Structure 1
Amino acid sequence: MRQLSLGDSPIISRKLIGARYFNKGYAAAAGKLNSSFDTPRDNEGHGSHTLSTAGGNFVANASVFGFGEGTAKGGSPRARVAAYKVCWPPIAGNECFDADVMAAFDSAIHDGVDVLSLSLGGEPVGFFNDSIAIGSFHAVKRGIVVVCSAGNSGPADATASNLAPWQITVGASTMDREFPSYVVLGNKMRFKGSSLSTKTLPEKFVSLISAADAKAPNASVQDALLCQAETLDPSKVKGKILVCLRGVNARVDKGQQAALAGAVGMILANNELTGNEITADAHVLPASHINYTAGTAVFSYINSTKSPVGYITPATTLVGTKPAPFMAAFSSKGPNIIVPDILKPDITAPGVSVIAAYTGLVGPTNQDFDKRRVQFNSVSGTSMSCPHVSGIAGLLKTLYPHWSPSAIKSAIMTTATTMDNLKERILNASNVEATPFSYGAGHILPNLAMNPGLVYDLLENDYLNFLCALGYKETQVLLFSEKPYKCPKPISLANFNYPSITVSNLSDSITVTRTVKNVGSPGTYTAYVNQPTGVSVFVKPKRLKFKKVGEEKTFSVTLKIKETGAAKDYVFGKLEWSDNQHHVRSPIVVKAS
């Protein structure tokens, strides 16, 4: 049984409202369950947060302890919603069992849902062994849009999960709202951090101490630096601001360990991998989360001064921040390790410090020590970005009830942007230009998705042919087709009508075909290409003239390695079809063999 991350799966529907739970698969491993398991109640916050992000109604004066105050609403605020609870306390690392996931899919399909939002996933496996891939296939072929999280295993490459082409797979990026809390040092250096701490310190200098210098006698320096449990010496920490390094244990747990050791405040510094990604957490003591560069400067100051001092300013809410968005360091990345010629993730959406509804059964840090309760909480993860896309898919389903799930997916992907609000390329958390392996087609733009102009459509047989192209046996295809399906021969994955073009093993040249359907006004579209480094791209024909809605046109794209500058590693480009009103963009991803 595959390990899946914890969370309920919300749906959007025009027909129903309610909640169900599925635990028979879990019970088979855990043994007889008591009656406390026979409920869909959310007792840890994840399901409430994701469901309200997808379809929560308008709520005035929403905030987290007064921060980020405003009117909250989900992506489809007038939708009917339901939750299908499939995840439970871990058993040997397993939380969400395949049998329960499949049962939930069956119920959702039977209930007549329009959109399924799945903020859960596990290690990628072949689609015929993947409960989410199988369940989502059966949903999609019945017209249900399925949106999934890419995972939180970044910033390493090849970490994305939920890799099936019939799913919309979502990465996480920031938004233009921050909760700044400044760290001020005795040498007059000042660094912007982030926090939702309700407790504050006077803006006067107090002693600073690195957690490495505060280690308990039997603890290692590295464990103490991470502020793990029972690694800190209270006699060294008491009355000081403790500086902890991000990693291993939860950010909010580090704050709790600092408080238990007697610290009056905490500075949480990023490691090199997490770079500039800082997160607003409702810490139990005054705290500020700073980026890697600032953290390096703070540690350097402490190590170069006999009596280092500093203070932390109270958190505030700031909107319109720049640059935004940029990719979250935790957001899982491509390439796709199951099918390298399908780009994943497909899209990115806000997933950092997202404010949404929360359960009243746990505190905002989700830790046992936290006795506070909130109606709304700020949470980060691709679990949070996924329902943003689900909500938008719900709106598109309302606007265009007869569009296929792949048409809705295409509209979302081809209208996305790869630029931030400074009109520069979207960066990653290390201030390096991000690639489609981080953001897919780009950051979602809901208003443009309503009017995409052209869409790349795919139907059930296209997906079955895709499985055939992977070499799946008839018995494996039967898991998806429900009845015997004869694979056509020959068949090429290169011509799969996906809204992105990926060639992971280009030896000399290849020609791929795509078909676009006009869903806008009549017009003539011209092809524009941004060529990947070392690769020539030729589009034929270069113009497509559409006379009516629903008309389809096929074109070919030839990718050829140049004699010099061959693509030895992945390189990236873009194909855009434009009639000067619509801009239909597809990423091009190439690696030479």
Structure 2
Amino acid sequence: MNVGWSYYVSAQNNKLPQRMYFEKTLSEIIISDSKICAYSHTASIAAGNHGIPVIVAGHHFGDASGMAPRAHIAVYKALYKGFGGFAADVVAAIDQAAEDNVDIISLSITPNRRPPGLATFFNPIDMALMSAVKDGIFVVQAAGNTGPSPKSMSSYSPWIFTVGASAHDREYNNYVVLGNNLTISGVGLAPGTDGDSMYNLIAAPHALQNYTTTPIEMSLGECQDPSHLDKDLIKGKILVCSYSIRFVLGLSSVKQALDTAKNVSAAGVIFYLDPFVLGFQLNPTPMDIPGLIIPSPDDSKIFLSYYNDSLVRDGTSDKVVNFGAVAKILGGLKPNYGSSAPKVMFYSARGPDPEDNTLANADILKPNVVAPGSSIWGAWNSRGLDSAEFTGESFAMLSGTSMAAPHIAGLAALIKQKFPSFSPAAIGSALSTTTILSDKQGNPIMSQRTYSNPDSTQTPATPFDMGNGFANATAALDPGLIFDCSYDDYLSFLCGINGSAPVVANYTGNSCGASTMTGADLNLPSITIAVLNQSRTITRTVTNVASDENYTVSCNAPYGAAASVAPAQFFIPSGQKQLVTFVVNATMTNSSVSFGDVEFYGDKGHRVVIPFTVMSKAV
């Protein structure tokens, strides 16, 4: 298993669990009558206290709050740093959480490999989570960071609510302005150099004591050791360091380089990217002195070219006698707010659901939604070693679907508080049908398509990138209509898989009767048909959780298919159900995926939208 986070949120004032374990290297939990404080990054995103100052490297980055600040938190240790863990440990934690009467389970963990054959759904963790759903627990899981390839999903079962990662509109950048008037963007949560003054640049290999020309250790070029550097030569200049693969592996650290720069009285520090770090995405890094990391290999080449071209060397000894390159660093302590958010991040795992690694039975839309997962502030254990740049800090900024999942877990707690009788599927439906489908400018949400230079390869996001869309916290608390689904429905779905009866009996103790149910037949807040052969009838049942309302149904069929809906209009009293039938016909032979949607418009302002996907068609 990949190392990750696993924790559980209780929306009600349920009895606190008698057994609590910290995940990873966390060391303490503080419990009082009024609050629970757990030093966990993901737990704080879901339910951290309200209005807590985020102070890192001595800088104040604003105040933070969890999604559901008054929720109770229980954390269970099932995985270990470096080692990971076994499915049996995670299953034990899930079982204990269910015994402790939690309302929501959030797992920022995924298997490191997909089980083969029938085990796609019948793996121990997914089956344990299905048992939790039977007990009324809403289950959230991170989609995984294996994108942007299709079918890269690690969380695929219909009873699990799978969350992908998106960017938000807050970005941290700082800049270096070179003496040739070029400006290069960098990453660094750092102050700038004083005023408009320009400072000479000096690379660590050119600042060795007694100017030795013998081969030096890589750590010296990375500014990890000040003992060999000439302090008098560096004082008042900006120290230039190499950011090599050793930083990625944890063998070198930005913190150590900053200590070196301060030890030799440098005015600041600039890291250029070593070519061997090509394609690695760098997150903003806290610095307590002016500093910046150039995250682009191309920009690093430009920077080094300017630096090297400005050196003046002695014609005889080749010793550098004058450092002509100058620069100033513009600070990155204040965020920039963009207008293109949200967008699906390149690393976020993509659908469709890959049952048996084929498309033939992939009738379940995954992910379910996307939520903020890029550059997320959260609580941190100051003694934690998982991110060396945040050692000693109480907050850290991390990225991944692991950060997106707890946003949804906290929001689910708020929904559970408002609608205590909601089933897990009802909570998932409220989250799914109320999503946002456009960015801040009203344009389609974009999806990054490559790992390298991801912003240059963006195209409009599809449901296989973002599920139903970007989670909308306000609208999810007033969904209007919901699509509900029960444990027995999931059981019928499993029994409909060819050859599954013995496995179902082994895991659940239930015997399979005759079942032809597929994923498309489940009452999900989406319609996904893997193979449309001439015609298919799909039904959905909606339940009104608001006041009496009239609804009009609009169906935008995917390209290459035609669809009719009945009834196209209906009145539904509060608390009542309405069956809606869709007849889908293939209009052309087409092996590609096409997308549409179904919209329910209420006369009291509710708008319920579900994606409609046909993956292959044959006439």
Query: The TM-score by the shorter chain falls in which range?
Result: 0.7 to 0.9
Match in the other structure for 2:467: 440
* 1:456-475 alignment runs, 5 A limit: 456-475=483-502
* 1:310-389 alignment runs, 5 A limit: 310-318=327-335, 320-338=337-355, 340-362=362-384, 366-367=387-388, 372-389=391-408
Is residue 6 of structure 1 aligned with residue 19 of structure 2? no
Q: CA deviation at 1:491?
A: 3.1
Alignment equivalent of 2:102, drawn from 113, 131, 134: 113
Q: CA deviation at 1:169?
A: 0.6
Whole-Å separation in 1 of the counterparts to 2:572 and 2:56: 52
Q: 1:536 to 1:266 in 2, by over 3 A?
A: same
Match in the other structure for 1:575: 598
Largest Rg, 1 or 2: 2
Is residue 513 of structure 1 aligned with residue 535 of structure 2? no
Match in the other structure for 2:145: 152
Match in the other structure for 1:32: none
Whole-Å separation in 1 of the counterparts to 2:40 and 2:544: 38
Residue 577 of structure 1: SS of its match in structure 2? strand
8 A contact 1:416–1:441 mirrored in 2: yes
Cα deviation, 1:198-244, whole Å, max 9, x if unaligned, reads: 68688625448899xxxx97999xxx99x8999xx999xx9653465
Match in the other structure for 2:79: 87
Match in the other structure for 1:61: 53
Alignment equivalent of 2:271, drawn from 263, 266, 275: 266
Q: 1:372 to 1:312 in 2, by over 3 A?
A: same
Match in the other structure for 2:515: 489
Whole-Å separation in 2 of the counterparts to 1:154 and 1:218: 39
Q: 1:527 to 1:49 in 2, by over 3 A?
A: same
Whole-Å separation in 1 of the counterparts to 2:62 and 2:26: 36
* 1:224-243 alignment runs, 5 A limit: 240-242=239-241
Paired AA for residue 97 in structure 1: F
Residue 402 of structure 1: SS of its match in structure 2? coil
What is the identity percentage for the equivalent residue pairs of Structure 1 and Structure 2? 29
Whole-Å separation in 1 of the counterparts to 2:615 and 2:535: 11
Match in the other structure for 2:564: 539
Q: 1:559 to 1:245 in 2, by over 3 A?
A: farther
Paired AA for residue 522 in structure 1: D
Paired AA for residue 157 in structure 2: A
Q: CA deviation at 1:124?
A: 2.8
Q: CA deviation at 1:109?
A: 0.8
Unaligned runs of 5+ in 2: 31-36, 206-213, 262-267, 311-324, 356-360, 449-454
8 A contact 2:446–2:461 mirrored in 1: yes
8 A contact 2:127–2:507 mirrored in 1: yes
Cα deviation, 1:69-123, whole Å, max 9, x if unaligned, reads: 43322111111111111111333xxx12212111111111111111111111113
8 A contact 2:151–2:353 mirrored in 1: yes
Cα deviation, 1:237-288, whole Å, max 9, x if unaligned, reads: x9653465899936995746866998932245998967xx763232587554
TM-score normalised by structure 1 residue count: 0.81
Which has the larger displacement, 319-328 or 412-421?
Answer: 319-328
* 1:178-197 alignment runs, 5 A limit: 178-197=171-190
Match in the other structure for 1:124: 114
8 A contact 2:483–2:524 mirrored in 1: yes
Whole-Å separation in 2 of the counterparts to 1:110 and 1:153: 32
Whole-Å separation in 2 of the counterparts to 1:229 and 1:327: 36
Aligned residues: 554
Match in the other structure for 1:452: 479
Whole-Å separation in 1 of the counterparts to 2:190 and 2:393: 13
Paired AA for residue 105 in structure 1: I
Whole-Å separation in 1 of the counterparts to 2:549 and 2:274: 53
Paired AA for residue 271 in structure 2: M
8 A contact 1:19–1:82 mirrored in 2: no
Match in the other structure for 2:612: 588
Match in the other structure for 1:528: 554
Residue 99 of structure 2: SS of its match in structure 1? helix
* 1:287-326 alignment runs, 5 A limit: 287-288=291-292, 296-300=298-302, 302-303=304-305, 306-307=309-310, 310-318=327-335, 320-326=337-343
Paired AA for residue 190 in structure 1: T
Match in the other structure for 1:29: none
Q: 1:100 to 1:281 in 2, by over 3 A?
A: same
Cα deviation, 1:376-402, whole Å, max 9, x if unaligned, reads: 221211111111100010010010010
Q: CA deviation at 1:469?
A: 2.1
Cα deviation, 1:119-141, whole Å, max 9, x if unaligned, reads: 11113322455333112111111
Q: 1:506 to 1:255 in 2, by over 3 A?
A: farther
8 A contact 2:480–2:544 mirrored in 1: yes
Which has the larger displacement, 110-119 or 331-340?
Answer: 331-340
Whole-Å separation in 2 of the counterparts to 1:458 and 1:253: 51
8 A contact 2:550–2:569 mirrored in 1: yes
Residue 412 of structure 1: SS of its match in structure 2? helix
Q: How well do the aligned residues superpose, as a CA RMSD in angstroms?
A: 4.0
* 1:554-565 alignment runs, 5 A limit: 554-563=579-588
Q: 1:373 to 1:489 in 2, by over 3 A?
A: closer
Residue 40 of structure 2: SS of its match in structure 1? helix
Match in the other structure for 1:31: none
Residue 495 of structure 2: SS of its match in structure 1? helix
Residue 348 of structure 1: SS of its match in structure 2? strand
Paired AA for residue 591 in structure 1: M
Whole-Å separation in 2 of the counterparts to 1:560 and 1:576: 19
Whole-Å separation in 1 of the counterparts to 2:514 and 2:39: 42
Residue 90 of structure 1: SS of its match in structure 2? coil
Q: CA deviation at 1:332?
A: 1.5
Q: 1:371 to 1:573 in 2, by over 3 A?
A: closer
Whole-Å separation in 1 of the counterparts to 2:465 and 2:223: 30
Residue 396 of structure 1: SS of its match in structure 2? helix
Whole-Å separation in 2 of the counterparts to 1:550 and 1:488: 31
Unaligned runs of 5+ in 1: 27-35
Q: 1:197 to 1:522 in 2, by over 3 A?
A: same
8 A contact 2:367–2:464 mirrored in 1: yes
8 A contact 1:76–1:392 mirrored in 2: yes
